[in-house]
Structure 1
Amino acid sequence: MGVRSFRVLVARAFVAATVGAAAIGAPGAAQAAPTTGLLDLTCAQALLQQTTRLSAALQSGLSEAVVRLLNNLTGDQVEHLAADSTSWLDECGRVFVADEGIEPAQRVTADPAPRDAVPTDVFTLSSRPGSTRTIYLDFDGATYSGTRWKSGAEIVSPAYSIDADRATFSEVERAQVYLAWQTVAEDYAPFDVNVTTLRPDPSALTRTSSADLTYGIPVVVSPTNSVGTGCGCGGLSYVGIFGTVGATDYQPAWIFTNGSGTGGYNVGQIISHEVGHTFGLSHDGTSQASYYAGAKGWAPIMGASYNRRASHWSTGEYADANNTEDDTAIIARTAPVVADDHASSPSAATGLTAGTPVAGTITTRTDTDAFSFSAYGRTALTVSGPAGYSDLDARLTILSPQGATIATVDPTADVSDDASMAATWLVDLPATAASYVAVVDGTGVGAPSEVGRYSDYGSLGAYTVSLSTGGSTATPLATPTTSTTTTSVQAIAFVTTRLPRARAGAAYRAAIRFRGPVSEARVDWRLPRGLKWKVVDDRIVIHGRVRASSAGRFATVLSGQDRSVRRVFRLVVRR
């Protein structure tokens, strides 16, 4: 009964499996995960003559009950998937998703290098090496045969590459691989799963029985769609196969950079999206669109989070959401939430010493971490996630030894950026040292029903808390009184949030304005060829003549006495 051949499908499709999972309770402790079994994984008899869009198959008479049974879905989930044009059935009746690629003008070739040093070997990275669950990011080429993809034929996927040389990885390419890995590792930081670029033993990706707790999913990142004919797709993945016994033939998930772009951040975003489908997650869309792209720097991971600074797992709290499934609870069915690393009670707070940063992870919306410290004089206590890709929007609450709130620091911005997602308590304390407690929490911005705003639901992930104290003060203050927000940390900020478009061959000039006690302002990553920059008073001036049409990003940094602020700008060059 099919509506079009698999090759034609893939030529027009775009990646991201969208299977919904049944409503589940809150995640439990890290223990044996339940098995989620598909029926008749061997597919002894084909159900369809060819790959068929799910909606067309149902309209042609295929029983919804059969789809539910074959894929462990509820009736509501089948209905939701059928309303999404990216949902397909293979010949055996298994659901997979073909996700749209990003618009060419939005594709990024290369993001600025990560702030921390890029390792020489980016193919041995592991986020949680002690975990028995694995998300394997395969960037260096792969060959598969005998899978459900391409009817079992051999599939040879070339290595990820930005340039024409696919035999070696350049410095820029290694930086993109590193950033993609960092992005995915951050998205899955709350869960007991290892995001790795180190090729594991095949047994680490295969679940043989419900007692087998060692399993995972490989994700192949390749320049072109080697599964079918070439296209501008973002990728492909089967729905709900992570942790399913005997589902190895439905691996891997696929990412195609000719549809997603080669920039590490967006590659990481679509990897997290595709892996989310393998966990059983559906698309976050609206009544009018399969994907919700968010606004003001934020978007849901299972929507279209390309180029968004803040991307979160979602429960459909935004306006006109068509999917209210509990993303984190669904993931936790087969990759449980990790154990809490820091107590929430001030009486059991982790000790914090000046000059020695401490790492932590906010794992759920109810998780808070407490830190005790002694401070005097000029004091700065900062909590921030990894620059450029953190999921945690941090709120910092300072308590007295008696538990009274001294200050709450929760910066906000109209468009999410590194500064608005971090928090710093900067204060002049009395000369005599006193004890305090800092409580770290994930927070949101505004009402999630407002455009570009979000709750604390997906404000999760890794962070570092650091303390400096004992600096000289011009006028020592009396014992601090209760306040809601402090500090000169918020004084240093970018006023300009986006740049005007440039035209290839034409003169270009734009100003990036900033405010606050800035001692240094600079561009931290090369501009498009033909452009230069200089600092004039309270602005960074970009000027010159761009030689070719393109779309890229570059980073700028503002530094002051107590902190620095980094912001990535996107510049589109038209013909």
Structure 2
Amino acid sequence: MKTNTTHQFLLRFFQKIRLKVLFACLFFSPILQATSDPSLENWNKGEQNTLISTPTQLSLGTPASFLEQLGINEIAAKNLSLNDNITNSQSNLGLTNFTLVDNEGGGIEVVAENFFLETNGTLSMNGHATGIPNSEFILQGNENNVYGWIILRDRNLAYEYTTVGKNLVVDEIAITDVHPVCDFEHHKHDRLIATTKHAFQYSLSDIPHIGPYPGTHVGQLESKPGSSYVILLDTRRVMSNGIPYDVSKEFIWTTWQIVAASFSMFDVNVTTNQRVYDNAAPSRRGGATMYRESGRSSCHFAFGTSTFCTLYRESDAYGQGRIAAHEIGHLLHLAHDGGYPGGEYYNGIPEFEWVPVMGNIWMGTSWNNALYQWSKGEYSGASNREDDFVKINRFIPFKPDDISNTKALIIDSGGNVSAANNIGQIEYNTDSDSFAFSIGSSGGHVNLTIDRAEHIGGGMLDVHARIKDASGNIVAQSNKSVNRSASFDLTLSAGNYTLEITGGAEGTPSRGFSKYSSLGYYAIEGTISGAGTGNDIPIINNIANGSTLSGSSQLFSWNSGDATEFRLAAGSSQGAEDYYGISKPTTDTSETATGLPTDGSIVHVTLHYLIKDRWSQSYYTYTAFDENNNGKLGITSPTEGETLSGSSQLFRWNPGNATGFWFYAGSSRGARDYYRNSSVINGTSHTVTGLPTDGSTVHITFHYYENGQWSQLYYTYKAANDGGSCTSAPATPNKPVNTANSSTSFTADWNSVSQATSYAVQLWVNDSEWQTVDTTSDSEYTFKGLPAGSTQYVRVNASNSCGSSYYSYWSEMELPSDGCTSAPAVPTGLNGSSRAISWNAVPGATRYDVEYWTGVWTYHGSSSSPSYSLGLSGTQYVRVRASNSCGNSQYSNWVTVY
């Protein structure tokens, strides 16, 4: 049976029970769980969803037993019992002392300066170690998952508390693993300021952080008012009552708008208003304090606590905003993006004017079209391949899609397209926005520019745009090189068109950037002459495109325009007539279609029209009426209680008034041990994977976002039964090893994964996306018919009836273009210093690749001669391999250089 739950249940519960009892329930009862908000995820689950224990770790038992042993429940109950009727979302319990242990069992006394308990059972506290100067401690979590750190700066020690499986462990780590200090090599260089800061030189009223400074109070700025997630730029040390001490109001405004742009794809309010921060739940807020002094900015991994980043003053707001976004990245547990050139801070790729936010952001200062993006280390030689969005999304959810269906392009009577009226946002790298327009019977001309609308310091969108005709064919497309915009200047014949906008990419994964972080706001500006006015081309006008139909029959009506005859059809795919069709043309401007499905599925409607002896078509999509739910929000197929089709199942639903959706699948009500989707869903269908096939009961939690909050509906189904015995999806394969077979073919090999029944093999195509080439039951695959001498990228995942693994790291293959017959031998004689190395030349080698040790072997660069400039310092470990167009040798033995 389906149940609707909201936070009102908890509020009523608090009014009936003493908080002392409540606290014990929150921490130790299996009935009340941690928040079911789908944006939250255990912080320590990496992309591969695994953690590896080490011999230096000390186990502290379960998180629940750890909290009980500390006596936190007693302290909280004692403080909270003074007010039995409290209904706030949080309560600060004040100063409290605890004794924590290091990884050798030694005691460290700490004092909590801030100790918060939220009504959903989430704990957040931070403070310092007693009697130890320059120390901090942070502890967060609930009875299922606790994490945190003790940081002893003067002793150069740090201890990390991590939940591994069901146990809490403590281990010694490097201080920089939790508190990076940003020491950019080029921090003090003379900087040229980029000439272009905004694509559009005026404010866009619906989006507060876009445009030049509008004269508002800079101590009350908010990028997304009403969001329950908050990032505070604490300006109390640099200004008073909205009046800065040393800088202009524009400086504060620009700093804020750059940070707001950097996080605009997330449902978070970037603000300078202390009151907004104070009113947010502790687990959903974080901040950075601005200082008047100059220095090296730094930050803990501490979102969800009262520990703030330190932002020292920069000479201009363009730099201040970028360093703020970088430090807040650390607040959300992101490490530095390193690689060559740049070392710890990757210097980016000048030919694309691209640099990762967590790299050396100062390198883009003089670029007129600089692009600062979140990264997952796709560039060659990346020292850090963590997925920034996965980490940030553990604390802050993505926004729902702002344009989930095609909307009309707004064109005034003079044919002008204004950026102020035509704006949207790409929230995910799979998102695309569509704007419809028509060209009248005499034809017309389109002159449009689509550009990112946010400040250059934070706007991450590289625009890729297409114009499609009524049949879905691409008429034109644009993604200007190193420009971030797209533009069109072309003549179009009469018809209906769609302007489709997505995030763009340039170069390759190893030398360029993908559309991974091409996200953000854009605006459309220009002119369209000959635009249809509604009197030229017939348009269905009694029911909006994308609406839900009223039943098995539906009246459709349209304006006649310049058309003289019409035909209406309805079917299960575009252009199909398997539901309904008029055999003869009609001059009527309305028709009732019958025989329509009533199962909540998608219905495609085609309006054929005749203008000057030429038949054309307009296409529409609608959601069928659902006779089971009468159009109410909820899953429409499969029907609750049905047996699922296999380890994956397509679910459809009626959206009602909700604007975002999320799926859990698990072995019990509300559980997600089978499946949890990675980002907000904005459509009306979704495929859930990783389901069991043993005939057991599968619980589906259908989350929906409505009226500013998440709620849930619960369903149960019977799993398919294929007689299989798997209990989980297989592990992720290792990175493929590639061997050239000819100038047009190569074979990729990977490790055989236990319990895997098939592998999906993908190649990187069109410099922009991964495409599945084939599936195989073998742990190798031979690619054929590729361009001679081309560079290919391949990755693979493993599947069984229980689900699929993550994709492996990609590997590169350069196909031969010369007459070589084999790969070269392994280089010998490697020696040198941390500044430069050399080795013996290898016959037949055309290139040498150099790797150095950063915790893993990391690509540093390549050379065509048997010598290479490392440009490093201190003790380093290096190795080298030889390559030609037939393949690569194995790497040489590593050597130590100084």
Per the TM superposition, whether the score is higher than 0.5 is: yes
CA pair 78-194 structure 1, distance change in 2 beyond 3 A: farther
Report how far residue 238 of structure 1 moved.
1.2
Q: Which residue of 1 aligns with 2:213?
A: 118
Residue 378 of structure 1: which of 427, 433, 445 is its match? Answer: 445
**Residue by residue, what CA displacement relative to the aligned partner does 1:93-143 show, whole Å, maximum 9, x if unpaired?**
xx32221255322457998876333121233222111211111112342xx
Q: Which residue of 1 aligns with 2:225?
A: 129
Report how far residue 221 of structure 1 moved.
1.4
CA pair 320-46 structure 1, distance change in 2 beyond 3 A: farther
The reply to whether residue 269 of structure 1 matches residue 322 of structure 2 is yes
CA pair 181-471 structure 1, distance change in 2 beyond 3 A: farther
SS of the counterpart of 2:227? coil
The reply to whether residue 325 of structure 1 matches residue 325 of structure 2 is no
Q: What is the alpha-carbon distance in structure 1 between the residues aligned to residue 163 and residue 317 of structure 2?
A: 36
Q: Which residue of 1 aligns with 2:550?
A: none
CA pair 302-326 structure 1, distance change in 2 beyond 3 A: same
Q: Which residue of 2 aligns with 1:352?
A: 409
Residue 162 of structure 2: which of 53, 69, 91 is its match? Answer: 69
SS of the counterpart of 2:250? helix
SS of the counterpart of 2:507? coil
**Residue by residue, what CA displacement relative to the aligned partner does 1:398-429 show, whole Å, maximum 9, x if unpaired?**
111000111111111xxx3xxx1011111123
Q: How does 1:246-265 map to 2 (within 5 A)?
A: 247-248=305-306, 251-257=307-313, 261-265=314-318
Residue 345 of structure 2: which of 291, 295, 300 is its match? Answer: 291
CA pair 459-113 structure 1, distance change in 2 beyond 3 A: closer
Residue 304 of structure 1: which of 353, 360, 371 is its match? Answer: 360
The reply to whether residue 220 of structure 1 matches residue 289 of structure 2 is yes
Q: What is the alpha-carbon distance in structure 1 between the residues aligned to residue 496 and residue 464 of structure 2?
A: 20
TM-score of the pair, normalised by structure 1: 0.57
Q: What is the alpha-carbon distance in structure 2 between the residues aligned to residue 196 and residue 134 of structure 1?
A: 7
Q: CA RMSD in A?
A: 4.2
Q: Which residue of 2 aligns with 1:400?
A: 469
Aligned residues of 2:40 and 2:397 also touching (Cα < 8 A) = yes
Q: What is the alpha-carbon distance in structure 2 between the residues aligned to residue 99 and residue 300 of structure 1?
A: 14
Report how far residue 368 of structure 1 moved.
1.1
Q: Give the aligned residue type for 2:389.
A: T
The reply to whether residue 447 of structure 1 matches residue 508 of structure 2 is yes
Q: Give the aligned residue type for 2:182.
A: D
**Residue by residue, what CA displacement relative to the aligned partner does 1:489-519 show, whole Å, maximum 9, x if unpaired?**
xxxxxxxxxxxxxxxxxxxxxxxxxxxxxxx
The reply to whether residue 361 of structure 1 matches residue 425 of structure 2 is yes
**Residue by residue, what CA displacement relative to the aligned partner does 1:307-327 show, whole Å, maximum 9, x if unpaired?**
521000000011111111110
Q: Which residue of 2 aligns with 1:87?
A: 176
Q: Which residue of 2 aligns with 1:532?
A: none
Q: Which residue of 1 aligns with 2:529?
A: 470
Q: Which residue of 2 aligns with 1:388?
A: 456
Q: What is the alpha-carbon distance in structure 2 between the residues aligned to residue 61 and residue 188 of structure 1?
A: 32
Q: Give the aligned residue type for 1:373.
A: F
TM-score of the pair, normalised by structure 2: 0.38
Aligned residues of 1:30 and 1:338 also touching (Cα < 8 A) = no
The reply to whether residue 191 of structure 1 matches residue 266 of structure 2 is yes
Report how far residue 36 of structure 1 moved.
5.0
Q: Give the aligned residue type for 2:162.
A: L
Aligned residues of 2:348 and 2:363 also touching (Cα < 8 A) = no
Q: What is the alpha-carbon distance in structure 1 between the residues aligned to residue 323 and residue 437 of structure 2?
A: 40
CA pair 279-421 structure 1, distance change in 2 beyond 3 A: same
Q: Give the aligned residue type for 2:298.
A: L
Q: Give the aligned residue type for 2:428.
A: T
SS of the counterpart of 1:98? coil
SS of the counterpart of 1:123? coil
Q: What is the alpha-carbon distance in structure 2 between the residues aligned to residue 136 and residue 349 of structure 1?
A: 35
Q: Which has the higher strand share?
A: 2
SS of the counterpart of 2:430? coil
Q: Give the aligned residue type for 2:505.
A: G
Q: What is the alpha-carbon distance in structure 2 between the residues aligned to residue 280 and residue 104 of structure 1?
A: 26
Q: What is the alpha-carbon distance in structure 2 between the residues aligned to residue 307 and residue 175 of structure 1?
A: 23
Report how far residue 34 of structure 1 moved.
4.2
Q: What is the alpha-carbon distance in structure 1 between the residues aligned to residue 256 and residue 467 of structure 2?
A: 33
Report how far residue 455 of structure 1 moved.
1.1
**Bigger radius of gyration among the two:** 2
**Residue by residue, what CA displacement relative to the aligned partner does 1:194-239 show, whole Å, maximum 9, x if unpaired?**
11122324533552xxxx7xx31121111226xxxxxx31x12111
Q: Give the aligned residue type for 1:103.
A: H
Aligned residues of 1:286 and 1:292 also touching (Cα < 8 A) = yes
CA pair 456-32 structure 1, distance change in 2 beyond 3 A: closer
Aligned residues of 2:232 and 2:277 also touching (Cα < 8 A) = no
Aligned residues of 1:159 and 1:222 also touching (Cα < 8 A) = no
Q: What is the alpha-carbon distance in structure 2 between the residues aligned to residue 110 and residue 378 of structure 1?
A: 33
Residue 236 of structure 1: which of 298, 318, 325 is its match? Answer: 298
Report how far residue 242 of structure 1 moved.
1.5
Q: What is the alpha-carbon distance in structure 1 between the residues aligned to residue 245 and residue 488 of structure 2?
A: 42
How many residues in Structure 1 have an aligned counterpart in Structure 2?
A: 375
CA pair 168-395 structure 1, distance change in 2 beyond 3 A: closer
The reply to whether residue 105 of structure 1 matches residue 189 of structure 2 is yes
Q: What is the alpha-carbon distance in structure 1 between the residues aligned to residue 495 and residue 303 of structure 2?
A: 50
Q: Which residue of 2 aligns with 1:510?
A: none
Q: Give the aligned residue type for 1:381.
A: L
CA pair 404-36 structure 1, distance change in 2 beyond 3 A: closer
Residue 426 of structure 1: which of 469, 486, 489 is its match? Answer: 489
Q: Which residue of 1 aligns with 2:690?
A: none
Report how far residue 394 of structure 1 moved.
0.5
- After alignment, is 216-225 or 272-281 more displaced? 216-225
Unaligned runs of 5+ in 2: 1-35, 45-62, 71-95, 100-107, 111-128, 137-148, 203-211, 365-369, 412-416, 532-613, 615-765, 767-898
Q: What is the alpha-carbon distance in structure 2 between the residues aligned to residue 111 and residue 120 of structure 1?
A: 22
Q: Give the aligned residue type for 1:378.
A: H
SS of the counterpart of 1:284? coil
Q: What is the alpha-carbon distance in structure 2 between the residues aligned to residue 110 and residue 318 of structure 1?
A: 24
- After alignment, is 397-406 or 367-376 more displaced? 367-376
Q: What is the alpha-carbon distance in structure 2 between the residues aligned to residue 265 and residue 277 of structure 1?
A: 19
Aligned residues of 1:110 and 1:263 also touching (Cα < 8 A) = no
Aligned residues of 1:113 and 1:176 also touching (Cα < 8 A) = no
Q: What is the alpha-carbon distance in structure 1 between the residues aligned to residue 504 and residue 278 of structure 2?
A: 39
SS of the counterpart of 1:290? coil
Aligned residues of 1:236 and 1:254 also touching (Cα < 8 A) = yes
Q: Give the aligned residue type for 1:236.
A: S
Q: What is the alpha-carbon distance in structure 1 between the residues aligned to residue 489 and residue 529 of structure 2?
A: 12
Aligned residues of 1:30 and 1:336 also touching (Cα < 8 A) = no
SS of the counterpart of 1:373? strand
Q: What is the alpha-carbon distance in structure 2 between the residues aligned to residue 314 and residue 396 of structure 1?
A: 22
Q: What is the alpha-carbon distance in structure 2 between the residues aligned to residue 299 and residue 340 of structure 1?
A: 26
CA pair 317-461 structure 1, distance change in 2 beyond 3 A: same
Q: What is the alpha-carbon distance in structure 1 between the residues aligned to residue 233 and residue 510 of structure 2?
A: 35
Q: How does 1:534-553 map to 2 (within 5 A)?
A: none
Q: What is the alpha-carbon distance in structure 2 between the residues aligned to residue 369 and residue 35 of structure 1?
A: 32
Q: What is the alpha-carbon distance in structure 1 between the residues aligned to residue 263 and residue 312 of structure 2?
A: 21
CA pair 372-61 structure 1, distance change in 2 beyond 3 A: closer
Percent identity over the alignment is: 26
The reply to whether residue 182 of structure 1 matches residue 182 of structure 2 is no
Aligned residues of 1:369 and 1:439 also touching (Cα < 8 A) = yes
Q: What is the alpha-carbon distance in structure 2 between the residues aligned to residue 219 and residue 292 of structure 1?
A: 24
CA pair 106-444 structure 1, distance change in 2 beyond 3 A: farther
CA pair 206-352 structure 1, distance change in 2 beyond 3 A: same
The reply to whether residue 278 of structure 1 matches residue 324 of structure 2 is no
Q: What is the alpha-carbon distance in structure 2 between the residues aligned to residue 350 and residue 361 of structure 1?
A: 13
Q: What is the alpha-carbon distance in structure 1 between the residues aligned to residue 171 and residue 395 of structure 2?
A: 21
